[in-house]
Amino acid sequence: MWLLLVLLPAAALPARGCRAPGEAAVRVLSARLLGLAVEPGLDADPGVYVGLRLAGEHDLRAEQRYLERLRDTFQGRYGRSLDSASHSSHGHRHRDAEHSTDTRAAAQWPETGRLALYLLGLRATCPPPDPGPQRFLVTWLKYYLEKDWKGSRRHGHPLTSYYQYSLGVLALCIHHKRVREEVIQRLLVAEQHRRFRHAGSSTVDTEAVAALAFACLEREQLVRSRLAAELRAAVRGIRARFVAAQSEDGFIGNVFSTPLAMQVFIATDKCRTQPAYGRAMAALLQRLDAFTSAAAMAQALPVLHGRSYLDIASMQCKEEPDTLTPLALEPLSVGPGNMMVRLVVECPVPPCPQHLLYDLPVPVPTGASLLDLLRVAPAQGPQNFTFETQDTSQGPFLTSVLGLAAQPQERHYWQLLGGLGSSLQMGVADYRPEDGETVILRLSKW
């Protein structure tokens, strides 16, 4: 079955004339994403659905079931008007108690990015779903963008992040909905002043999504000509910075941000003329094995089919090859030998009792992940080593260490670093330390 899958020709999908490599490995990646999507237990994720829809081959029934799972979540939360949500949050009684709790929660903390990805997914669905219920979703997304925008005025940044804010602008544009020019201006000014940087991460992912939003607004003619010219200049600047930032090995930012950066070349029709694009594609094809989480795979698949999120706006429902079958990821082997990794926990921000909370060598089987290591880390004195994670489509996100939970509203997070202080480029489940290495968990602000 494995062999058959690899030998079958991949469907060619030349979208807007950008090269789709059509390699067997790309098809395997699609099949693995499908495998993760049909796995029971994991919550459905709108970004994963977008990835499945922008791939070349499909399992249409599995995609339909996945969409139904998403619909259950999102229609429950956003399937009614904002007015009814604000009424229910002021104590009005509802027949459907569960529904009203869900809508009330929605009215509080913006879920800009997930809602934007869901709307992108709906627009990428064939045949197009009934547009009626989408009306409320669009209103909710506009409301979240405004909340984010106000947050950004008070604190100097959106309540969620510039990444999510950009996704919000992009999704409304793909649905051909206008947003206030001030909302766009704020993103543009942040880009012009290079405000996307935050601790421990490069700006490439966020710049790429912002550039896609700008390119969409310009292409769909949703802004006045003066602003359109500014957006065009910003996209040109971002593209030039990507070319300058490309490393010797072909990546832009790192392996995980490269697909998003490549989307900008596709969306602006530079994929055939810009050599950086071809180099990035070659580099990506060499490292498809790095894409192990559903979210990472879903972000890589569009460019591997020569597509960007902007193609969703002009998606035409033709017959789609219903030929994909799910493939399970083989677990990586560990052992037989053992290794020693030094685990350090640092807490340098205000709520911390002291700076250094933990520092011990931990014996683990060779090839163990950081997550395996955390599970067996020994007690230091009277204190057991404890930690908590939360499942996301990127994998388990470390939320708490030694009883100290990072407060997302304070923009605190448990950052993962190597011994020399460099931020790791993978999460706890994917990172595999080497013998003798030091790993630091540090409560940081981003």
Query: How many Cα atoms occupy the beta-carbon half-sphere of 356 within 13 Å?
Result: 6
Which of 63, 102, 191, 205 is close enough to bind ligand B12 by CB under 6 A?
205
Cα–Cα–Cα angle for 292, 32, 392, nearest 5°? 50
Contact flag: residue 433 with ligand B12 (CB under 6 A): no
Residue span binding ligand B12 (CB under 6 A) among the ranges 7-15, 124-132, 195-203, 332-340: 195-203
* 3-class state of residue 111 by DSSP: coil
Closer Cβ to ligand B12, 101 or 392, answer by number: 392
163 binds ligand B12 (CB under 6 A): yes
Question: Closest approach of Cβ 390 to ligand B12, in Å?
Answer: 8
DSSP-derived pairing of the beta strands 387-392 and 404-405: unpaired
Task: Please report how the helices 112-123 and 60-78 are oriented relative to each other, as an axis angle in degrees rounded to 10.
Answer: 140
Q: Measured on CA atoms in the order 431, 433, 434, 438, is the torsion positive or negative?
A: positive
DSSP character for 221? Answer: T
Q: How many angstroms separate the CA atoms of 237 and 17, rounded?
A: 23
Under the criterion CB under 6 A, does residue 200 sit at the interface with ligand B12? Answer: yes
* Single residue of 35, 56, 110, 113 touching ligand B12 by CB under 6 A: 113
| Integer Cα distance of 308 and 170 in angstroms | 12
**In this complex, which beta carbon is closest to ligand B12, that of residue 30 or of residue 201?**
201
Closest CB to ligand B12 among residues 10, 114: 114
Residue selected from 118, 283, 425, 433 as contacting ligand B12 according to rule CB under 6 A: 425
Nearer to ligand B12, 222 or 371 (CB): 371
Query: Which residue's structure tokens are 């940081």?
Result: 444
| Residue in 148, 395, 432, 433 binding ligand B12, rule: CB under 6 A | 395
| CB closer to ligand B12, 70 vs 223 | 70
Site string for ligand B12, 31-70 (x = CB under 6 A): ----------------x-----------------------
Is residue 299 close enough to count as binding ligand B12 by CB under 6 A?
Answer: yes
Give the nearer residue to ligand B12 in terms of CB position, either 208 or 223. Answer: 208
Q: Does 427 sit near ligand B12 (CB under 6 A)?
A: yes
Query: Does position 294 bind ligand B12 by CB under 6 A?
Result: no
CA distances, 389 to each of 279, 286, 355, 403 (Å): 36, 31, 22, 12
Residue 225: enclosing H or E segment and its boundaries? helix 225-245
Residue 416 is a binding residue for ligand B12 (CB under 6 A): yes
Q: How far is CA 92 from CA 83, 170, 315, in A?
A: 12, 34, 42
Strand arrangement of the beta sheet that strand 438-445 belongs to: 356-365, 338-346, 438-445, 412-418
Establish how many alpha carbons lie within 13 A of residue 302's alpha carbon, considering only the half-sphere containing its beta carbon: 30
Residue from 30, 103, 164, 308 binding ligand B12 (CB under 6 A): 164
260 binds ligand B12 per the rule CB under 6 A: yes
Q: Choose the binding region for ligand B12 from 73-81, 132-140, 156-164, 315-323 (rule: CB under 6 A).
A: 156-164
Measured from the CB atom, the residue of 225 and 390 that comes closer to ligand B12 is 390
Tell me how far apart the alpha carbons of residues 15 and 266 are, in angstroms, rounded to a whole number: 9
- CA dist 76 and 90 (Å) reads 19
Q: Rounded distance, CA 217 to CA 176, Å?
A: 9
Residue type, 309: Y
Residue 246 or 257 with smaller CB distance to ligand B12: 257
Answer for which of 161, 166, 268, 308 binds ligand B12 (CB under 6 A) is 161
Judged by CB under 6 A, does residue 426 bind ligand B12? Answer: yes
Residue count, binding to ligand B12 (CB under 6 A): 41
Cα gap 278→271, rounded to integer Å: 7
Closest CA to 141 of 171, 166, 108: 171
* d(C-alpha 303, C-alpha 325), whole Å: 21
Site stretch for ligand B12 (CB under 6 A), options 151-159, 194-202, 244-252, 314-322: 194-202
Nearer to ligand B12, 11 or 426 (CB): 426
The CA distance from 214 to 234, in Å, is: 8
Strand-pairing partners, residue 295, are none
Q: Of the candidates 415, 433, 440, 443, which one interacts with ligand B12 according to CB under 6 A? A: 415
Least distance between ligand B12 and beta carbon 171 (Å) = 11
- Give min distance, CB of 151 to ligand B12, in A: 12
- Interaction site with ligand B12 (CB under 6 A): 47, 113-114, 117, 161, 163-164, 198, 200-201, 205-206, 253-254, 256-257, 260, 293, 295-296, 299, 392-398, 408, 413-416, 423-428, 430, 446
